[in-house]
Structure 1
Amino acid sequence: MNEFVMRLPQRGPRLFLVAAAAIWWALYQSLQPLSEALVEALPVARDSRLGGALQFFLYDTPKVLLLLTGIVFGMGMINSYFTPERTRALLAGRREGVANAMAASLGVVTPFCSCSAVPLFIGFVQAGVPLGVTFSFLIAAPMVNEVALTLLFGLFGWKIALLYLALGLTIAVAAGWIIGRLGMEAYLEDWVRDMPRAAAHFEATGVDLSDRIAAGMRSVRQIVGKVWPYILAGIAIGAGIHGYVPEDFMASIMGKDAWWAVPMAVMIGVPMYTNAAGVIPIVQALLAKGAALGTVLAFMMSVIGLSLPEVVILRKVLKVRLIAIFLGVVATGILLVGYIFNWAL
Structure 2
Amino acid sequence: MFNWIQNIADWFVYDVLNLEKEQHLVEALNFFIYDTVKILILLFVVIFFMGIVNSYFPIDKVKNYLSRNKLYGLEYLMASLFGVVTPFCSCSSVPLFIGFVRGGIPLGVTFAFLITSPLVNEVAIGLFVGLFGFKMTIIYVLSGILLGTISGVILQKLKLEPFLTPWVKEVLANAQREQDKFEAEQLSFSQRLPIIWAEVIKILKGIIPFVIIGIAIGGLMHGYIPEGFFEQYMAKDNLFAVPIATILAVPMYANASGILPVVQVLVAKGIPIGTAIAFMMGVVGLSLPEAMLLKKVMSLKLIAIFFGVVTLCIIISGYFFNLIL
- For the superposition of Structure 1 and Structure 2, which TM-score range results when normalised by the shorter chain? 0.5 to 0.7
Q: Is the 8 A contact 1:142 1:304 kept in 2?
A: yes
Higher gyration radius (CA): 1
Q: How does 1:298-309 map to 2 (within 5 A)?
A: 298-309=278-289
In the other structure, the counterpart of 1:281 is 261
> CA shift at 1:291, angstroms?
0.9
Of 112, 130, 135 in structure 1, the residue corresponding to residue 111 of structure 2 is: 135
> CA shift at 1:121, angstroms?
2.9
Distance 1:178 1:84 in 2: 29
Greater mean alpha carbon deviation, residues 281-290 or residues 294-303 = 281-290
Are 1:295 and 2:291 an aligned pair?
no
> CA shift at 1:341, angstroms?
1.8
Any idea what the Cα deviations from partners look like across 1:237-287, whole Å, max 9, x if unmatched? 88xx7xxx9xxxx6x853443102111211221101222222111111111
Letter in 2 for 1:313: L
Of 68, 77, 90 in structure 2, the residue corresponding to residue 101 of structure 1 is: 77
Q: Is the 8 A contact 1:256 1:342 kept in 2?
A: no
Q: How does 1:19-98 map to 2 (within 5 A)?
A: 85=50, 93-94=65-66, 95=71, 97-98=73-74
Q: Which runs of 5+ in 1 are unaligned?
A: 1-82, 204-228
Are 1:190 and 2:170 an aligned pair?
no
SS of 1:157's equivalent in the other structure is helix
Q: Is the 8 A contact 1:293 1:341 kept in 2?
A: yes
Q: Is the 8 A contact 2:90 2:284 kept in 1?
A: no
Label 1:282 to 1:186 Cα distance change in 2 as closer, same or farther (>3 A): same
> CA shift at 1:119, angstroms?
3.4
Q: TM-score, normalised by structure 2?
A: 0.60
Q: How does 1:146-185 map to 2 (within 5 A)?
A: 146-185=122-161
Label 1:113 to 1:254 Cα distance change in 2 as closer, same or farther (>3 A): closer
Letter in 2 for 1:284: Q
Distance 1:292 1:113 in 2: 25
Label 1:136 to 1:87 Cα distance change in 2 as closer, same or farther (>3 A): farther
Label 1:297 to 1:115 Cα distance change in 2 as closer, same or farther (>3 A): closer
Are 1:315 and 2:295 an aligned pair?
yes
Distance 1:140 1:172 in 2: 5
Q: Is the 8 A contact 1:118 1:317 kept in 2?
A: no
Identical counterparts, % of pairs: 47
Aligned length: 221
> CA shift at 1:114, angstroms?
3.3
Are 1:110 and 2:86 an aligned pair?
yes
Q: Is the 8 A contact 1:117 1:314 kept in 2?
A: no
Distance 1:184 1:268 in 2: 26
CA RMSD in angstroms, aligned pairs only: 3.3
Are 1:327 and 2:298 an aligned pair?
no
Distance 2:252 2:77 in 1: 28
Distance 1:128 1:147 in 2: 30
Distance 1:311 1:125 in 2: 17
Distance 2:94 2:269 in 1: 39
Distance 2:271 2:49 in 1: 39
Greater mean alpha carbon deviation, residues 115-124 or residues 151-160 = 115-124
Letter in 1 for 2:271: A
Letter in 2 for 1:266: T
Label 1:266 to 1:292 Cα distance change in 2 as closer, same or farther (>3 A): same
Label 1:138 to 1:296 Cα distance change in 2 as closer, same or farther (>3 A): same
Distance 2:53 2:278 in 1: 29
> CA shift at 1:148, angstroms?
1.7
Label 1:340 to 1:175 Cα distance change in 2 as closer, same or farther (>3 A): same
